[in-house]
Structure formats: structure tokens, C-alpha cells
């Protein structure tokens, strides 16, 4: 059984921006290198523009946006922009469709930036990448927009509300994968109170009901994303699955279906450059079953006796594809 794959999150762009002599084709460097994506039959890959909360965050985001643009120009035999035409003619595609996303809105506005600077930065990035697949307001820590998943008691700040107001109606989803619970609650409340037109997703998140970790979604938020016709990408990192139990990946997937996510559950592998990560307890970052994007066919094979063919198709690509077809139209 072979399905095309849509993956909602990888950090190829930050690898290319930070690491000397980096290449999108170096399989030994990063698990989402283009040859791995091709081997895994990945038809569409979201490339995150990731930044820390630093003074240089906006410059780093601009650099990654330019790298995204350059990839499309230099490697057009292998990748293409996953715009409306790509999605509409899905069955005819031979290349990997890519879209960029914002992981941490510090890349749109550092702590000192004026709103004139933020609007200019937003428009400049959008000009380079054509469309944003989603925006996450935070990463692990706090920024001017709100609290990240490792913060407590910090929700949606006034600047976060202002950014949500700005993206309303632009068909750019807001990503819950790195929010604090209080931030997630604040986002939903602000969207509803102001009647904003913003889809909600979790691009690369697992379930706290299966493994307790602040990076994982509570069932309350997962069900709310499902209720709002969003999607939830299962994350492959050991730290968020259950570091000692490889089979826990299946439990997270099954849980997504069990809470009503038949049309929401998808993949958000979260492959990134790990060689410079100092915490040795995190190595290896992935279980062998999903250690690189080339493993998708074997993962699907291992699930074929556990899920129906329709559920496998939805998980592999259909849910993500239909989500983006809907919001692009």
C-alpha cells in the first residue's frame, strides 16, 4: 500500500541558514533532505521559518525566506511551490510541493520592533515565499506576542491580539504546536470575540492524554481544533512520543482518530538538524521506525493492519490536502 505523504513541519530552512556548507541534499546531515523526501514519497512538505527570541530574529527569518525562494529557483526539477494550481492538479505532480510557515512570530517582530517594522517584515517575507502555510506565535519561551509551551501563566498579549487581527481573512492558519495552554485559550477566545477569520491547527503536536508533556495537546484543545475543521500533525520526536517506547507513536495516531480526528489527523514529523544539540539525553532524536523521511512507506505498511485504507489515506495526505485546498479557495 503506497500513498503520497504530506508533512506539516520540518526545519530544513533553519539548517540551511545556520550550518556552514549545508545542502538540501545531504542525507547524513538532516532527516528531511530532499533525497529522503523523495524516498518517502513525500508529495508536499511545509518548511518552517524558525527563529529564537533574539535581536537578530527578524534578519534570520528574512534570510530563511530568501533561502526558500532560492530553493524554488535552483532546484525546480525536484521541488515546486505548493500553490493553488499544485493542489488542484495533485495527481499529476511529480515534484515535492513546498510552502513556508512561521515558527515563532519573533521572526516577524523582535521585542523592540515597531508595528511599522512588523508590517513591513510580514509583507517582505510574504513576497519571498508567496504564501504562508501557518503562523505559530511562539516557540518554547515567551515573546512579545504570548507564552510558549514551556511557560506558565502567560497567555495572549496585546501584541498577539494585534497580530491575529492583522492576519484575519488572509487564509493563514494559526498554529497551536508551541503555545502555552493559556495562550491557546486566549487565541480561541480572541478569535471568537472579534469574529476573526483564522483557521486553527497544530502542525506538529502529539497528545497529552497519551504522554504527559507540555509540548503535547490536551484533549480539550485537540477536540477544539477538530471542531473548527483544523488539522493535527503527529510529531515523531522521541521526547514528545514517550522516549522509551517506540510503539507510542501508534498510540498517538490512534488517539487522534479516537477523539474524532478522522478528517484532522496527519503527519508533522519535525525533522531538524540535531548534530549541534548539546543535551545528550535527547539523542537519538527519533526511533528507527521514523528516523528520516524515507521511512514513510514502512510506517504506512506497519499501520495497514491497524487502520482502514480510508483512514490511512486520510492520515498520509488527504486530510492535509483537503485542508489547504479549502483555505486556498
pLDDT digits (tens, 9 = 90+) for 8-30: 999 999 999 999 999 999 999 99
Over residues 243-295, the pLDDT tens digits come to 999 999 999 999 999 999 999 999 999 999 999 988 888 999 999 999 999 99
Mean of the per-residue pLDDT values of the chain: 97
Q: What is the rounded average pLDDT of the residues 195-203?
A: 98
Is residue 141 packed enough to be buried (19+ CB in 10 Å), middle (13-18) or exposed (0-12)? middle
Q: pLDDT band at 297, cuts 50/70/90?
A: very high
Give the CA angle between residues 203, 232, 194 to the nearest 5°: 80
CA separation for the pair 320, 266 (Å, rounded): 7
Contacts with 212 (C-beta within 8 Å, 6 or more apart), sequence order? none
Could you tell me how far CA 4 lies from the centroid of its own chain?
18
* Strand stretches in 62-217, DSSP E: 79-81, 96-103, 132-136, 174-175, 200-201
pTM to 2 decimals?
0.98
> What is the spatial distance between Cα 52 and Cα 261, in angstroms, rounded to a whole number?
31
Residue 197's CB: how many other CB atoms inside 10 A?
12
Instruction: Say whether pLDDT at 328 is over 90.
Output: no
Widest Cα–Cα separation across the chain = 54
Amino acid at each position: 500500500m503506497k500513498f503520497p505523504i504530506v508533512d506539516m513541519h520540518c526545519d530544513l530552512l533553519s539548517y540551511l541558514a545556520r550550518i556552514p556548507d549545508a545542502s538540501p541534499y545531504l542525507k547524513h546531515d538532516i532527516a528531511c533532505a530532499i533525497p529522503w523526501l523523495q524516498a518517502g514519497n513525500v508529495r508536499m512538505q511545509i518548511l518552517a521559518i524558525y527563529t529564537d527570541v533574539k535581536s537578530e530574529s527578524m534578519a534570520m527569518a528574512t534570510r530563511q525566506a530568501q533561502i526558500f525562494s532560492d530553493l524554488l529557483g535552483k532546484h525546480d526539477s525536484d521541488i515546486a511551490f505548493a500553490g493553488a494550481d499544485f493542489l488542484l492538479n495533485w495527481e499529476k505532480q511529480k515534484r515535492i510541493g513546498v510552502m513556508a510557515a512561521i515558527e515563532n512570530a519573533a521572526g516577524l517582530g523582535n521585542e523592540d520592533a515597531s508595528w511599522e517594522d512588523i508590517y513591513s517584515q510580514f509583507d517582505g517575507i510574504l513576497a519571498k515565499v508567496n504564501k504562508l502555510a501557518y503562523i505559530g506565535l511562539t516557540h518554547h519561551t515567551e515573546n512579545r506576542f504570548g507564552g510558549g509551551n514551556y511557560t506558565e501563566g502567560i497567555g495572549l498579549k496585546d501584541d498577539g491580539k494585534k497580530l491575529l487581527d492583522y492576519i484575519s481573512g488572509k487564509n493563514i492558519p494559526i498554529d497551536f504546536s508551541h503555545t502555552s495552554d493559556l495562550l491557546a485559550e486566549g487565541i480561541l477566545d480572541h478569535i471568537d470575540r472579534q469574529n476573526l477569520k483564522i483557521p486553527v491547527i497544530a502542525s506538529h503536536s502529539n497528545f497529552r492524554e497519551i504522554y504527559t508533556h507540555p509540548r503535547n495537546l490536551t484533549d480539550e484543545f485537540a477536540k477544539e481544533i477538530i471542531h473548527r475543521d483544523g488539522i493535527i500533525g503527529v510529531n515523531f520526536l522521541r521526547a514528545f512520543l514517550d522516549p522509551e517506547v517506540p510503539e507510542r507513536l501508534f498510540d498517538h495516531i490512534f488517539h487522534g482518530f479516537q477523539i474524532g480526528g478522522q478528517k484532522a489527523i496527519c503527519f508533522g514529523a519535525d525533522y531538524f538538524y540535531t548534530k549541534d544539540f548539546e543535551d545528550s539525553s535527547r539523542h537519538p532524536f527519533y526511533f528507527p521506525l521514523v528516523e528520516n523521511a524515507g521511512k514513510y512507506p514502512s510506517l504506512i505498511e506497519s499501520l495497514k493492519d491497524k487502520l482502514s485504507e480510508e483512514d490511512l489515506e486520510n492520515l498520509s495526505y488527504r486530510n492535509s490536502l483537503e485542508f489547504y485546498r479549502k483555505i486556498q479557495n
